[in-house]
Chains A and B, each alone.
Chain A
Amino acid sequence: MFLLALIEAQVKRNEEDARLLRTIAGGDQAALGRLYDIYSSLVYTMVLRIVKSSDEAEDLVQEVFMQIWNKAKLFSETKGSVYTWVMTIARRKAIDRLRSQEYVHRGSSLDDEHAQDLPDAAYTTNPLHAEMSSEYEGLMRSGLALLSVDQRTVIELSYFDGYTQDQIAKKVDVPLGTVKTRMRQGLMRLREYLKERMK
Protein backbone atom coordinates (compact mmCIF):
# COMPACT_ATOMS: atom_id res chain seq x y z
CA MET A 1 0.00 0.00 0.00
CA PHE A 2 2.73 2.42 0.83
CA LEU A 3 4.08 2.04 -2.73
CA LEU A 4 0.84 3.24 -4.28
CA ALA A 5 0.90 6.25 -2.06
CA LEU A 6 4.53 6.66 -2.99
CA ILE A 7 3.74 6.75 -6.70
CA GLU A 8 0.90 9.23 -6.24
CA ALA A 9 3.12 11.44 -4.18
CA GLN A 10 5.85 11.11 -6.74
CA VAL A 11 3.65 12.33 -9.57
CA LYS A 12 2.57 15.25 -7.44
CA ARG A 13 6.17 16.12 -6.61
CA ASN A 14 7.16 15.96 -10.25
CA GLU A 15 4.55 18.54 -11.05
CA GLU A 16 5.65 20.74 -8.18
CA ASP A 17 9.30 20.53 -9.21
CA ALA A 18 8.43 21.35 -12.79
CA ARG A 19 6.53 24.44 -11.60
CA LEU A 20 9.56 25.37 -9.52
CA LEU A 21 11.79 25.16 -12.59
CA ARG A 22 9.40 27.32 -14.59
CA THR A 23 9.62 29.94 -11.83
CA ILE A 24 13.41 29.70 -11.94
CA ALA A 25 13.30 30.15 -15.68
CA GLY A 26 11.41 33.36 -15.04
CA GLY A 27 14.33 34.63 -12.98
CA ASP A 28 13.09 33.85 -9.47
CA GLN A 29 16.18 33.48 -7.29
CA ALA A 30 14.21 32.31 -4.27
CA ALA A 31 12.86 29.41 -6.32
CA LEU A 32 16.39 28.34 -7.11
CA GLY A 33 17.11 28.46 -3.40
CA ARG A 34 14.18 26.12 -2.77
CA LEU A 35 15.34 23.72 -5.45
CA TYR A 36 18.81 23.83 -3.95
CA ASP A 37 17.39 22.85 -0.58
CA ILE A 38 15.69 19.82 -2.13
CA TYR A 39 18.49 18.54 -4.33
CA SER A 40 21.80 19.86 -3.04
CA SER A 41 22.54 17.10 -0.57
CA LEU A 42 22.11 14.29 -3.09
CA VAL A 43 23.99 16.23 -5.74
CA TYR A 44 26.79 16.89 -3.30
CA THR A 45 26.83 13.28 -2.12
CA MET A 46 27.06 11.95 -5.66
CA VAL A 47 29.69 14.36 -6.98
CA LEU A 48 31.76 13.89 -3.83
CA ARG A 49 31.62 10.14 -4.39
CA ILE A 50 32.87 10.67 -7.92
CA VAL A 51 35.58 13.31 -7.51
CA LYS A 52 36.51 12.32 -3.95
CA SER A 53 37.41 15.88 -2.98
CA SER A 54 35.15 18.08 -0.90
CA ASP A 55 36.55 21.26 -2.47
CA GLU A 56 35.89 19.94 -5.95
CA ALA A 57 32.47 18.67 -4.90
CA GLU A 58 31.46 22.04 -3.46
CA ASP A 59 32.61 23.76 -6.62
CA LEU A 60 30.69 21.26 -8.70
CA VAL A 61 27.50 21.78 -6.72
CA GLN A 62 27.68 25.47 -7.52
CA GLU A 63 28.32 24.71 -11.17
CA VAL A 64 25.36 22.36 -11.31
CA PHE A 65 22.96 24.88 -9.85
CA MET A 66 24.37 27.70 -11.96
CA GLN A 67 23.63 25.59 -14.96
CA ILE A 68 20.12 24.93 -13.72
CA TRP A 69 19.66 28.67 -13.27
CA ASN A 70 20.84 29.36 -16.78
CA LYS A 71 19.12 26.47 -18.47
CA ALA A 72 15.87 26.09 -16.58
CA LYS A 73 14.05 27.49 -19.56
CA LEU A 74 15.11 24.49 -21.61
CA PHE A 75 13.60 21.92 -19.29
CA SER A 76 10.39 20.28 -20.47
CA GLU A 77 8.26 18.43 -17.97
CA THR A 78 6.57 16.52 -20.74
CA LYS A 79 9.67 14.44 -21.20
CA GLY A 80 11.10 13.94 -17.80
CA SER A 81 11.39 14.50 -14.14
CA VAL A 82 13.38 17.26 -12.57
CA TYR A 83 15.16 14.62 -10.52
CA THR A 84 16.67 12.83 -13.49
CA TRP A 85 17.50 16.09 -15.22
CA VAL A 86 19.36 17.46 -12.22
CA MET A 87 21.16 14.19 -11.47
CA THR A 88 22.22 13.78 -15.08
CA ILE A 89 23.73 17.27 -15.13
CA ALA A 90 25.49 16.59 -11.85
CA ARG A 91 26.92 13.23 -12.86
CA ARG A 92 28.10 14.50 -16.20
CA LYS A 93 29.86 17.48 -14.69
CA ALA A 94 31.51 15.32 -12.05
CA ILE A 95 32.71 12.73 -14.55
CA ASP A 96 34.00 15.46 -16.85
CA ARG A 97 35.86 17.03 -13.92
CA LEU A 98 37.28 13.65 -12.94
CA ARG A 99 38.46 12.95 -16.44
CA SER A 100 39.99 16.38 -16.88
CA GLN A 101 41.89 15.81 -13.64
CA GLU A 102 43.17 12.47 -14.79
CA TYR A 103 43.88 13.68 -18.32
CA VAL A 104 42.22 10.57 -19.56
CA HIS A 105 40.07 10.62 -22.59
CA ARG A 106 37.21 8.24 -22.15
CA GLY A 107 34.58 9.76 -24.41
CA SER A 108 31.46 11.38 -23.11
CA SER A 109 29.28 10.01 -20.42
CA LEU A 110 25.51 9.89 -20.65
CA ASP A 111 24.59 11.67 -23.79
CA ASP A 112 21.92 14.18 -23.07
CA GLU A 113 21.24 15.10 -26.64
CA HIS A 114 19.47 11.84 -27.17
CA ALA A 115 17.74 11.67 -23.85
CA GLN A 116 15.08 13.99 -25.18
CA ASP A 117 13.85 11.26 -27.47
CA LEU A 118 13.22 8.82 -24.69
CA PRO A 119 9.72 8.02 -23.55
CA ASP A 120 8.37 9.64 -20.45
CA ALA A 121 9.02 6.53 -18.42
CA ALA A 122 12.68 7.43 -18.39
CA TYR A 123 12.10 10.21 -15.94
CA THR A 124 9.21 9.21 -13.81
CA THR A 125 11.29 8.68 -10.75
CA ASN A 126 11.54 11.55 -8.38
CA PRO A 127 12.54 10.16 -5.05
CA LEU A 128 14.09 13.16 -3.42
CA HIS A 129 11.28 14.49 -1.37
CA ALA A 130 11.07 13.77 2.24
CA GLU A 131 8.09 11.44 2.06
CA MET A 132 9.68 9.36 -0.68
CA SER A 133 13.37 9.62 -0.23
CA SER A 134 13.81 7.15 2.58
CA GLU A 135 11.53 4.63 0.88
CA TYR A 136 13.48 4.81 -2.36
CA GLU A 137 16.76 4.62 -0.55
CA GLY A 138 15.55 1.54 1.23
CA LEU A 139 14.43 -0.04 -2.02
CA MET A 140 17.69 0.67 -3.78
CA ARG A 141 19.80 -0.54 -0.91
CA SER A 142 17.86 -3.76 -0.61
CA GLY A 143 18.03 -4.14 -4.38
CA LEU A 144 21.78 -3.63 -4.44
CA ALA A 145 22.12 -6.12 -1.63
CA LEU A 146 20.69 -8.74 -3.96
CA LEU A 147 23.54 -8.26 -6.38
CA SER A 148 26.77 -10.16 -6.11
CA VAL A 149 29.83 -8.25 -4.97
CA ASP A 150 31.25 -8.59 -8.49
CA GLN A 151 28.16 -7.11 -10.09
CA ARG A 152 27.99 -4.26 -7.59
CA THR A 153 31.68 -3.51 -8.04
CA VAL A 154 31.56 -3.11 -11.82
CA ILE A 155 28.40 -1.00 -11.63
CA GLU A 156 29.93 1.33 -9.04
CA LEU A 157 33.23 1.58 -10.90
CA SER A 158 31.38 2.58 -14.00
CA TYR A 159 28.69 4.86 -12.59
CA PHE A 160 30.52 6.53 -9.73
CA ASP A 161 34.13 6.33 -10.82
CA GLY A 162 33.67 6.95 -14.53
CA TYR A 163 35.77 3.98 -15.60
CA THR A 164 35.36 2.54 -19.05
CA GLN A 165 34.71 -1.15 -19.42
CA ASP A 166 38.27 -1.73 -20.62
CA GLN A 167 39.63 0.02 -17.56
CA ILE A 168 37.32 -1.96 -15.29
CA ALA A 169 38.46 -5.21 -16.92
CA LYS A 170 42.08 -4.33 -16.16
CA LYS A 171 41.31 -3.09 -12.70
CA VAL A 172 39.43 -6.18 -11.55
CA ASP A 173 41.51 -8.44 -13.78
CA VAL A 174 38.72 -10.14 -15.70
CA PRO A 175 37.97 -10.32 -19.43
CA LEU A 176 36.04 -7.47 -21.00
CA GLY A 177 33.14 -9.80 -21.79
CA THR A 178 32.83 -10.69 -18.12
CA VAL A 179 32.65 -7.01 -17.19
CA LYS A 180 29.88 -6.47 -19.72
CA THR A 181 27.96 -9.48 -18.44
CA ARG A 182 28.26 -8.46 -14.81
CA MET A 183 27.14 -4.92 -15.52
CA ARG A 184 24.21 -6.04 -17.55
CA GLN A 185 23.07 -8.76 -15.18
CA GLY A 186 23.47 -6.50 -12.18
CA LEU A 187 21.47 -3.65 -13.61
CA MET A 188 18.82 -6.02 -14.98
CA ARG A 189 18.40 -7.62 -11.60
CA LEU A 190 18.07 -4.25 -9.95
CA ARG A 191 15.54 -3.18 -12.53
CA GLU A 192 13.45 -6.29 -12.15
CA TYR A 193 13.53 -5.97 -8.40
CA LEU A 194 12.29 -2.38 -8.54
CA LYS A 195 9.57 -3.24 -11.05
CA GLU A 196 8.41 -6.10 -8.87
CA ARG A 197 8.25 -3.94 -5.80
CA MET A 198 6.46 -1.11 -7.60
CA LYS A 199 3.61 -3.35 -8.77
Chain B
Amino acid sequence: MTNEEFIQNCHDYALGSLEGKDLAEFQTYLRTANKDELTQLAEILSTASLLPLTLERKAPPPHVKEELMKKIQLSARAGDSVQRRTFEPDVLPVPHKRSWLPFGVTTVIVVMVIGFSFYVFKLMGTIEQQNQRLVGVQTEKQQLATQIVALKNELSRKEEMLKVLSSKRIEITVMNGLDVNPVGYGKIIWDPEKKTAILQVSNLPAVPTDKDYQLWVIKGKQPISAGVFAVSNNEPNFFKITNLAVTEPKEIAAFAITLEPKGGVPAPTGAMYMAGSPKL
Protein backbone atom coordinates (compact mmCIF):
# COMPACT_ATOMS: atom_id res chain seq x y z
CA MET B 1 0.00 0.00 0.00
CA THR B 2 1.47 3.35 -1.03
CA ASN B 3 1.36 6.38 1.26
CA GLU B 4 -1.23 7.98 -1.02
CA GLU B 5 -3.41 4.88 -0.85
CA PHE B 6 -2.95 4.78 2.90
CA ILE B 7 -4.08 8.40 3.30
CA GLN B 8 -7.08 7.77 1.05
CA ASN B 9 -7.99 4.73 3.10
CA CYS B 10 -7.58 6.70 6.35
CA HIS B 11 -10.30 9.09 5.20
CA ASP B 12 -12.58 6.25 4.15
CA TYR B 13 -11.85 4.48 7.42
CA ALA B 14 -12.58 7.54 9.53
CA LEU B 15 -15.89 8.05 7.77
CA GLY B 16 -16.78 4.38 8.08
CA SER B 17 -17.01 3.84 4.35
CA LEU B 18 -14.17 1.36 4.06
CA GLU B 19 -15.55 -2.15 3.78
CA GLY B 20 -14.98 -5.74 2.80
CA LYS B 21 -11.61 -6.64 1.38
CA ASP B 22 -10.37 -3.03 1.49
CA LEU B 23 -11.19 -2.80 5.18
CA ALA B 24 -9.46 -6.08 5.92
CA GLU B 25 -6.35 -5.00 4.00
CA PHE B 26 -6.29 -1.66 5.76
CA GLN B 27 -6.62 -3.27 9.18
CA THR B 28 -3.82 -5.65 8.34
CA TYR B 29 -1.65 -2.76 7.18
CA LEU B 30 -2.38 -0.83 10.37
CA ARG B 31 -0.68 -3.50 12.44
CA THR B 32 2.64 -2.60 10.86
CA ALA B 33 2.03 1.08 10.17
CA ASN B 34 4.76 3.48 11.27
CA LYS B 35 4.36 6.30 13.77
CA ASP B 36 3.86 8.99 11.12
CA GLU B 37 1.12 7.01 9.43
CA LEU B 38 -0.61 6.37 12.73
CA THR B 39 -0.39 10.06 13.60
CA GLN B 40 -1.98 10.99 10.30
CA LEU B 41 -4.75 8.50 10.85
CA ALA B 42 -5.22 9.82 14.38
CA GLU B 43 -5.70 13.35 13.14
CA ILE B 44 -8.17 12.26 10.51
CA LEU B 45 -10.13 10.19 13.03
CA SER B 46 -10.10 13.08 15.45
CA THR B 47 -11.47 15.40 12.81
CA ALA B 48 -14.21 12.94 11.85
CA SER B 49 -15.20 12.45 15.48
CA LEU B 50 -16.08 16.14 15.68
CA LEU B 51 -18.64 15.93 12.87
CA PRO B 52 -21.58 15.29 15.23
CA LEU B 53 -20.94 18.72 16.75
CA THR B 54 -22.32 20.29 13.57
CA LEU B 55 -25.73 18.84 14.27
CA GLU B 56 -28.37 20.80 16.09
CA ARG B 57 -28.38 19.41 19.59
CA LYS B 58 -31.44 17.61 20.89
CA ALA B 59 -31.79 16.11 24.33
CA PRO B 60 -33.36 12.69 24.77
CA PRO B 61 -36.67 12.62 26.66
CA PRO B 62 -36.28 12.29 30.46
CA HIS B 63 -37.78 8.81 30.52
CA VAL B 64 -34.77 7.49 28.61
CA LYS B 65 -32.50 8.17 31.55
CA GLU B 66 -35.04 6.87 34.03
CA GLU B 67 -35.38 3.60 32.17
CA LEU B 68 -31.65 3.36 31.76
CA MET B 69 -31.02 3.84 35.47
CA LYS B 70 -33.62 1.18 36.28
CA LYS B 71 -31.88 -1.24 33.96
CA ILE B 72 -28.57 -0.41 35.54
CA GLN B 73 -30.04 -0.99 38.98
CA LEU B 74 -31.47 -4.36 37.93
CA SER B 75 -28.21 -5.26 36.35
CA ALA B 76 -26.29 -4.35 39.49
CA ARG B 77 -28.73 -6.30 41.66
CA ALA B 78 -28.44 -9.34 39.48
CA GLY B 79 -24.77 -9.01 40.12
CA ASP B 80 -24.00 -9.79 36.58
CA SER B 81 -22.54 -6.50 35.56
CA VAL B 82 -19.12 -7.46 36.73
CA GLN B 83 -19.46 -10.86 35.12
CA ARG B 84 -20.52 -9.36 31.83
CA ARG B 85 -17.78 -6.84 32.04
CA THR B 86 -15.42 -9.74 32.27
CA PHE B 87 -16.78 -11.97 29.57
CA GLU B 88 -18.26 -9.78 26.86
CA PRO B 89 -15.56 -9.15 24.36
CA ASP B 90 -17.57 -7.23 21.79
CA VAL B 91 -16.78 -3.67 22.68
CA LEU B 92 -14.66 -0.80 21.75
CA PRO B 93 -11.01 -1.18 21.95
CA VAL B 94 -9.42 -2.31 25.06
CA PRO B 95 -6.79 0.29 24.95
CA HIS B 96 -3.80 -0.92 26.81
CA LYS B 97 -0.14 -0.38 26.63
CA ARG B 98 1.55 -3.23 24.91
CA SER B 99 4.77 -4.31 26.41
CA TRP B 100 7.04 -5.57 23.67
CA LEU B 101 9.66 -6.74 26.16
CA PRO B 102 8.26 -10.27 26.74
CA PHE B 103 7.66 -10.65 23.02
CA GLY B 104 11.15 -9.40 22.25
CA VAL B 105 12.79 -11.65 24.82
CA THR B 106 10.75 -14.63 23.62
CA THR B 107 11.69 -13.88 20.02
CA VAL B 108 15.38 -13.62 20.89
CA ILE B 109 15.25 -16.90 22.83
CA VAL B 110 13.39 -18.66 20.01
CA VAL B 111 15.90 -17.35 17.46
CA MET B 112 18.81 -18.43 19.68
CA VAL B 113 17.32 -21.90 20.21
CA ILE B 114 16.69 -22.29 16.48
CA GLY B 115 20.18 -21.03 15.70
CA PHE B 116 21.79 -23.30 18.28
CA SER B 117 19.74 -26.29 17.11
CA PHE B 118 20.80 -25.59 13.55
CA TYR B 119 24.45 -25.30 14.67
CA VAL B 120 24.25 -28.58 16.64
CA PHE B 121 22.53 -30.29 13.73
CA LYS B 122 25.23 -29.08 11.35
CA LEU B 123 27.97 -30.03 13.80
CA MET B 124 26.54 -33.53 14.19
CA GLY B 125 26.44 -33.84 10.42
CA THR B 126 30.09 -32.80 10.22
CA ILE B 127 31.08 -35.26 12.98
CA GLU B 128 29.19 -38.04 11.21
CA GLN B 129 30.99 -37.21 7.96
CA GLN B 130 34.35 -37.22 9.76
CA ASN B 131 33.51 -40.56 11.39
CA GLN B 132 32.63 -42.05 8.03
CA ARG B 133 35.86 -40.71 6.57
CA LEU B 134 37.77 -42.15 9.52
CA VAL B 135 36.13 -45.56 9.05
CA GLY B 136 36.96 -45.34 5.34
CA VAL B 137 40.59 -44.45 6.09
CA GLN B 138 40.86 -47.29 8.63
CA THR B 139 39.39 -49.78 6.16
CA GLU B 140 41.79 -48.55 3.50
CA LYS B 141 44.66 -48.88 5.97
CA GLN B 142 43.69 -52.47 6.77
CA GLN B 143 43.41 -53.26 3.07
CA LEU B 144 46.83 -51.75 2.47
CA ALA B 145 48.31 -53.69 5.41
CA THR B 146 46.83 -56.91 4.06
CA GLN B 147 48.18 -56.02 0.63
CA ILE B 148 51.62 -55.32 2.10
CA VAL B 149 51.63 -58.66 3.95
CA ALA B 150 50.59 -60.42 0.74
CA LEU B 151 53.29 -58.61 -1.22
CA LYS B 152 55.89 -59.47 1.43
CA ASN B 153 54.83 -63.12 1.30
CA GLU B 154 54.95 -63.03 -2.47
CA LEU B 155 58.41 -61.44 -2.37
CA SER B 156 59.61 -63.98 0.15
CA ARG B 157 58.28 -66.83 -1.96
CA LYS B 158 59.91 -65.47 -5.08
CA GLU B 159 63.18 -65.02 -3.26
CA GLU B 160 62.96 -68.65 -2.17
CA MET B 161 62.19 -69.68 -5.73
CA LEU B 162 65.10 -67.62 -6.99
CA LYS B 163 67.31 -69.38 -4.47
CA VAL B 164 66.18 -72.73 -5.86
CA LEU B 165 66.64 -71.55 -9.44
CA SER B 166 70.07 -70.17 -8.64
CA SER B 167 71.25 -73.51 -7.24
CA LYS B 168 74.23 -75.19 -8.85
CA ARG B 169 72.14 -78.23 -9.81
CA ILE B 170 68.43 -78.28 -10.50
CA GLU B 171 66.08 -80.89 -11.84
CA ILE B 172 62.78 -80.30 -13.61
CA THR B 173 59.84 -82.60 -14.03
CA VAL B 174 56.77 -81.62 -16.03
CA MET B 175 53.35 -82.83 -14.85
CA ASN B 176 50.25 -83.13 -17.03
CA GLY B 177 46.55 -83.17 -16.20
CA LEU B 178 44.83 -86.53 -15.96
CA ASP B 179 41.29 -87.70 -16.78
CA VAL B 180 39.77 -85.85 -13.81
CA ASN B 181 41.21 -82.51 -15.03
CA PRO B 182 42.96 -82.90 -18.39
CA VAL B 183 43.54 -79.10 -18.82
CA GLY B 184 45.75 -78.94 -15.74
CA TYR B 185 49.51 -78.80 -15.97
CA GLY B 186 52.50 -78.02 -13.81
CA LYS B 187 56.16 -78.61 -13.08
CA ILE B 188 58.41 -79.24 -10.17
CA ILE B 189 61.89 -77.77 -10.00
CA TRP B 190 64.07 -79.02 -7.25
CA ASP B 191 67.56 -78.87 -5.86
CA PRO B 192 68.64 -82.44 -5.06
CA GLU B 193 71.38 -81.31 -2.71
CA LYS B 194 69.37 -78.92 -0.59
CA LYS B 195 66.21 -81.04 -0.92
CA THR B 196 64.13 -77.98 -1.69
CA ALA B 197 61.74 -77.61 -4.59
CA ILE B 198 59.34 -75.25 -6.32
CA LEU B 199 55.98 -76.59 -7.40
CA GLN B 200 54.07 -74.70 -10.06
CA VAL B 201 50.52 -75.70 -11.00
CA SER B 202 48.05 -74.19 -13.46
CA ASN B 203 44.39 -74.83 -14.31
CA LEU B 204 43.71 -76.81 -11.16
CA PRO B 205 40.15 -76.41 -9.87
CA ALA B 206 39.82 -74.44 -6.61
CA VAL B 207 39.71 -76.81 -3.66
CA PRO B 208 36.61 -77.19 -1.47
CA THR B 209 37.03 -75.89 2.07
CA ASP B 210 37.32 -79.42 3.56
CA LYS B 211 39.95 -80.58 1.04
CA ASP B 212 43.59 -79.98 0.06
CA TYR B 213 45.74 -80.99 -2.85
CA GLN B 214 48.56 -83.27 -1.79
CA LEU B 215 51.90 -83.71 -3.64
CA TRP B 216 53.38 -87.17 -3.68
CA VAL B 217 56.87 -88.38 -4.55
CA ILE B 218 56.65 -91.95 -5.72
CA LYS B 219 59.72 -93.97 -4.97
CA GLY B 220 59.43 -97.35 -6.65
CA LYS B 221 55.80 -98.07 -5.94
CA GLN B 222 55.73 -96.26 -2.61
CA PRO B 223 54.05 -92.77 -2.54
CA ILE B 224 55.68 -90.42 -0.02
CA SER B 225 53.90 -87.17 0.91
CA ALA B 226 55.76 -83.99 -0.02
CA GLY B 227 53.17 -81.59 1.42
CA VAL B 228 49.67 -80.16 0.94
CA PHE B 229 48.52 -77.02 -0.79
CA ALA B 230 45.36 -75.32 -1.94
CA VAL B 231 44.52 -73.16 -4.94
CA SER B 232 41.71 -70.64 -5.29
CA ASN B 233 41.88 -69.90 -9.02
CA ASN B 234 43.13 -71.21 -12.30
CA GLU B 235 46.08 -68.85 -12.43
CA PRO B 236 49.63 -70.24 -12.12
CA ASN B 237 50.35 -70.97 -8.45
CA PHE B 238 53.80 -71.47 -6.97
CA PHE B 239 54.63 -73.33 -3.77
CA LYS B 240 57.97 -73.93 -2.02
CA ILE B 241 58.68 -77.45 -0.79
CA THR B 242 61.32 -78.19 1.83
CA ASN B 243 62.74 -81.48 3.02
CA LEU B 244 61.89 -83.37 -0.15
CA ALA B 245 62.15 -87.02 0.90
CA VAL B 246 63.63 -88.34 -2.32
CA THR B 247 65.74 -86.11 -4.52
CA GLU B 248 67.71 -88.26 -6.95
CA PRO B 249 65.84 -88.52 -10.27
CA LYS B 250 66.75 -92.17 -10.76
CA GLU B 251 65.02 -92.99 -7.45
CA ILE B 252 61.87 -91.11 -8.33
CA ALA B 253 59.30 -93.01 -10.36
CA ALA B 254 56.93 -90.03 -10.59
CA PHE B 255 55.43 -86.96 -8.95
CA ALA B 256 51.62 -86.94 -8.52
CA ILE B 257 48.98 -84.65 -7.13
CA THR B 258 45.74 -85.98 -5.56
CA LEU B 259 42.75 -84.32 -3.88
CA GLU B 260 42.62 -85.37 -0.23
CA PRO B 261 40.90 -84.50 3.03
CA LYS B 262 42.04 -81.23 4.63
CA GLY B 263 45.56 -81.52 6.04
CA GLY B 264 46.52 -84.52 3.93
CA VAL B 265 46.63 -88.26 4.49
CA PRO B 266 49.50 -90.81 4.93
CA ALA B 267 48.61 -92.60 1.71
CA PRO B 268 46.69 -91.30 -1.34
CA THR B 269 42.92 -91.93 -1.28
CA GLY B 270 41.46 -89.36 -3.68
CA ALA B 271 41.41 -88.78 -7.39
CA MET B 272 44.71 -88.03 -9.12
CA TYR B 273 44.70 -84.66 -10.89
CA MET B 274 48.23 -84.42 -12.24
CA ALA B 275 51.32 -86.62 -12.64
CA GLY B 276 54.76 -86.59 -14.33
CA SER B 277 58.02 -88.64 -14.30
CA PRO B 278 61.55 -87.22 -14.28
CA LYS B 279 63.44 -87.62 -17.53
CA LEU B 280 66.55 -89.61 -16.97
What is the CA–CA distance of A190 and B43 in the complex, to the nearest angstrom? 11
Segment 79-93 of A: residues with Cβ below 8 Å from B: 79-80, 83-85, 87-89, 91-92
Which residues, 116 to 160 on A, are CB-close (under 8 Å) to B?
116-125, 127, 133, 136-137, 139-141, 144, 155, 158-160
Q: Are B97 and A137 in contact (CB under 8 A)?
A: no
A contact residues, total (Cβ < 8 Å): 88
Which residues of A have CB within 8 Å of B92? 71, 74-75, 85, 88-89, 92, 112, 115
Asked whether any CB of chain A lies closer than 8 Å to the CB of B168, the reply is: no
Q: Among B67-75, B170-178, B192-200, which stretch is in contact with chain A? A: B67-75
Q: How large is the interface on B (under 10, 10 to 19, 20 to 34, 35 or more residues)?
A: 35 or more
Within 8 Å of chain A (Cβ to Cβ): is B42?
A: yes
Q: How far is the CA of A168 from the CA of B48 in the complex (A)?
A: 18
In the assembled complex, the Cα of A112 lies from the Cα of B30 at a distance in Å of: 12
B94 partner, pick from A36, A46, A74, A188, beta carbons under 8 A: A74
Residues of B within 8 A of A32 (CB): 69, 72
Let me know if A187 and B50 touch, CB within 8 A. Answer: no
User: Provided the pairs A75-B95, A127-B50, A163-B17 are in contact, do residues A45 and B56 lie with their beta carbons within 8 angstroms?
Assistant: yes
Expressed in whole angstroms, the minimum distance between the Cβ of A166 and any Cβ of chain B is 9
B27 touching A27 by the CB < 8 A rule? no
Distance in Å from the Cβ of A158 to the closest Cβ of chain B?
A: 4
Q: Mark A79-116, 1 if CB is under 8 A from B, else 0.
A: 11001110111011001000000000011111111111
Chain B residues whose CB sits within 8 angstroms of the CB of A187 once the complex forms: 11, 14-15, 44, 47-48
> In the complex, which residue of chain A has the Cβ closest to the Cβ of B24?
A107
A184 contacts which of B11, B41, B65, B82 (Cβ < 8 Å)?
B11
Query: A125 vs B93: C-alpha distance in the bound complex, in angstroms?
Result: 17
* CB contact list, B4-56 vs A, under 8 A: 7-8, 11-20, 23, 27, 30-31, 35, 38-39, 41-56
Q: A83-B49, A108-B19 are in contact. List 15 more A-B contacts (CB 8 A).
A: A29-B72, A36-B65, A40-B65, A41-B58, A49-B52, A62-B64, A70-B81, A70-B88, A89-B91, A115-B45, A122-B43, A136-B50, A140-B54, A187-B47, A191-B44
Q: List 20 A-B contacts (CB under 8 A).
A: A29-B73, A36-B65, A40-B60, A44-B59, A44-B64, A62-B68, A65-B68, A66-B75, A70-B84, A85-B92, A87-B52, A106-B19, A107-B20, A110-B45, A118-B38, A119-B35, A122-B43, A158-B16, A183-B15, A195-B43
Closest 3 A-B residue pairs measured CB to CB?
Answer: A107-B19, A79-B95, A122-B42
